[in-house]
């Protein structure tokens, strides 16, 4: 399985090699997407964790046993209308018609409520009008 999570660390935890332990002891592949970790300060890591489901569950349980707050990563798509050139490429890829072209006006629009964050539209946009946005809470 593969999952993206946000891990919030306390000041004391931020100096511990617990990501190393996660890799070594639970045989998980860790891809660090975003990080804000400083010595003696609270911080967070956004990571993609890949591996066997049972080991993933044990790894997350290990984090929680240390007091690390673990939350699923919330992703959303941002459409920047001001740089969109209305080429329609994204609308042809979007499986839910969240990005859709009006056949009358030939204008593209984005309905976030229909988006399932599949990522199909991200690579096709020539102007990078579509971006993946990670919702990360500030460390508490
Ligand atoms: S992420 Fe998927 S569902 Fe969302 S707008 Fe892009 S193609 Fe459509
Ligand atoms: S692919 Fe990009 S430029 Fe083309 S219509 Fe979609 S958002 Fe606009």
Domains of the chain, residue spans: 2-72, 74-135
Q: How confident is the model at residue 34 (pLDDT cuts 50, 70, 90)?
A: confident
Average pLDDT over residues 15-32: 90
Which of 1-5, 48-52, 53-57 is the least confident region? 1-5
Q: Which pLDDT band holds residue 4 (cuts at 50, 70, 90)?
A: confident
Distance CA 34, CA 46 (A): 5
CA distance 26 to 60: 10
Our answer on whether the CB atom of 62 is closer than 6 Å to any ligand 1 atom is no
Give the end-to-end CA distance of the chain in Å, rounded to a whole number.
29
In the predicted model, what is the mean pLDDT of residues 104-133?
A: 94
For the chain, what is the mean pLDDT?
Answer: 90
Topology of domain 74-135 in CATH is Alpha-Beta Plaits (3.30.70)
Atom number in ligand 1 closest to CA 132: 1
Residue 139 pLDDT: 44
Neighbours of 125 (CB within 10 A): 20
Ligand 1 pocket mutation, candidates 75, 81, 96, 110, criterion most atoms within 8 A of CB: 96
In percent, the amount of the chain with pLDDT more than 70 equals 96
Same fold, 2-72 and 74-135: yes
Element (H, E) at 39: none
Beta strand extents in 1-64 (DSSP E only) = 2-9, 29-36, 43-50
Burial of 100 from C-beta contacts in 10 A (0-12 / 13-18 / 19+): middle
Query: Which residue, judged by its Cα, is nearest atom 2 of ligand 2?
Result: 125
Fold of 2-72: Alpha-Beta Plaits (3.30.70)
CA of 111 to the centre of ligand 2 (A): 14
pLDDT at 33: 82
Tell whether the model's pLDDT for residue 138 goes beyond 60.
no
Phi, psi dihedrals of residue 47, rounded to the nearest 5°? -130, 150
Q: What b/e string do you get for 102-119 counting C-beta neighbours within 10 Å, with b at 16 or more?
A: eeeeeebebeeeebeeee
């Amino acid at each position: 399985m593969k999952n993206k999570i946000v891990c919030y660390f306390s000041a004391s935890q931020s100096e511990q090699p617990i990501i190393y332990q996660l890799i070594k002891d639970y045989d998980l592949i860790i891809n660090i997407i975003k990080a804000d970790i400083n010595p003696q300060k609270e911080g967070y890591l956004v990571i993609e964790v890949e591996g066997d489901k049972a080991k993933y569950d044990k790894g997350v349980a290990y984090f929680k046993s240390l007091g690390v707050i673990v939350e699923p990563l919330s992703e959303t798509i941002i459409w920047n209308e001001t740089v969109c050139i209305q080429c329609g490429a994204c609308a042809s890829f979007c499986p839910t018609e969240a990005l859709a072209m009006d056949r009358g006006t030939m204008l593209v629009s984005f309905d976030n409520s229909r988006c399932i964050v599949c990522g199909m539209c991200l690579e096709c946009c020539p102007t990078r009008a579509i971006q993946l946005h990670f919702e990360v809470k500030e460390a508490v």
